[in-house]
Amino acid sequence: MKLTWRIWVLGIALAISLISILNSEPYVRLLIFSLIIGILLIFTFVKSKAGIVFITIVFLLTAGFLVFNSIESGVLVKTVDQDSQAFEQGLREGEIIKAVNGKEVKNLEDYANIMDSLFLSEENIRIDLTTKNTDYTLFINETPRIIIQEIPKTKIKTGLDISGGARALVQPEGKITDVELQDLIEVSRNRFNVFGISDVKIKGITDLTGDKFMLVEVAGATSQDLEELLSKQGKFEARIGNQTAFIGGKRDITNVCRNDATCASITGCFPTQGGYFCRFAFTIFLSEKAAQRHADITSNIPINFESGGQYLTENLTLVLDDVIVDELLIGRGLKGQVTTQISIQGSGLGLTQEEAFEDAQSSMGQLQTILITGSLPFKLKVVKLDIISPILGEQFIFLILLAGFSAIMLVGIIVFVRYRKFKISLALLLTSFSELVIILGIAALISWNLDIPSIAGILAVIGTGVDQQIIILDEARTGRERSIQERMKRALFIIMTAYLTSLVALLPLYWAGAGLFKGFAITSIIGITAGVFITRPAFADMIKKMEE
Q: Read off the pLDDT of residues 409-450 as tens digits, 9 standing for 90 and up.
A: 787 788 788 777 788 888 888 888 888 888 888 888 887 777
End-to-end CA distance of the chain: 11
Its CATH class, for the domain covering 75-150, is: mainly beta
Q: What is the pLDDT of residue 346?
A: 81
Is pLDDT of 24 > 60?
yes
Q: Which residue has the higher pLDDT, 532 or 122?
A: 532
DSSP state, 533? Answer: I
Per-residue confidence (pLDDT) for residue 269, from 0 to 100: 92
pLDDT of 398 strictly over 80? no
With a cut of 80, say whether residue 527 has pLDDT above it. Answer: yes
One CATH from 1.20.1640.10, 3.40.640.10, 1.10.10.10, 1.10.3720.10 for 390-547: 1.20.1640.10
d(CA 541, CA 263): 74
Domain 75-150 and domain 390-547, same fold? Reply is no
- Say if strands 157-158 and 449-450 run parallel, antiparallel, or are unpaired: parallel
Q: What is the pLDDT of residue 160?
A: 66
Residue at 242: amino acid letter: N
**Segment 202-227 mean pLDDT:** 73
Separation of alpha carbons 512 and 505, rounded Å? 12
Return all residues near 479 (Cβ < 8 A) that are at least 6 apart: 487, 490
Count other C-beta atoms under 10 Å from residue 378's C-beta: 19
DSSP conformation class of 22 = B
Whether the CB-CB separation of 150 and 107 falls below 8 Å is answered with yes
Q: Is 226 left (phi over 0), alpha (psi -120 to 50) or beta?
A: alpha
Most confident of 107-116, 234-243, 349-358, 458-467: 349-358
Is this model's pTM higher than 0.85 or not? no
Burial of 226 (0-12, 13-18, 19+ CB in 10 A): buried
DSSP annotation of 306:
G
Residue 348, Ramachandran bin (φ over 0: left; ψ between -120 and 50: alpha; else beta): beta
User: How does pLDDT run across 258-274, given as a tens digit for each residue?
Assistant: 778 888 889 889 988 87
Residue 407 has a pLDDT of 74
pLDDT at residue 278 in the model: 92
Q: Write down the domain spans for the chain.
A: 75-150, 165-232+382-387, 237-367, 390-547
Tell me which of 47-61, 126-140, 262-276 is least confident.
47-61
pLDDT of residue 155: 76
- Is 29:22 a contact under the CB 8 Å cutoff? yes
How far is the C-alpha of 505 from the C-alpha of 520, rounded, in Å? 12
pLDDT at 511 over 80: no
Q: What is the mean pLDDT of the chain?
A: 78
Output the pLDDT for position 339: 85
Is pLDDT above 60 for 514? no
Amino acid letter at 387?
A: I
So what's the architecture of 165-232+382-387 in CATH? Answer: 2-Layer Sandwich (3.30)
In terms of phi and psi (left: phi > 0; alpha: psi -120 to 50; beta: otherwise), the region of 175 is beta
pLDDT of 513 higher than 60: no
Is residue 115 predicted with pLDDT exceeding 60?
A: yes
* SS3 assignment, position 441: helix
The answer, yes or no, to whether residue 341 has pLDDT greater than 70, is yes
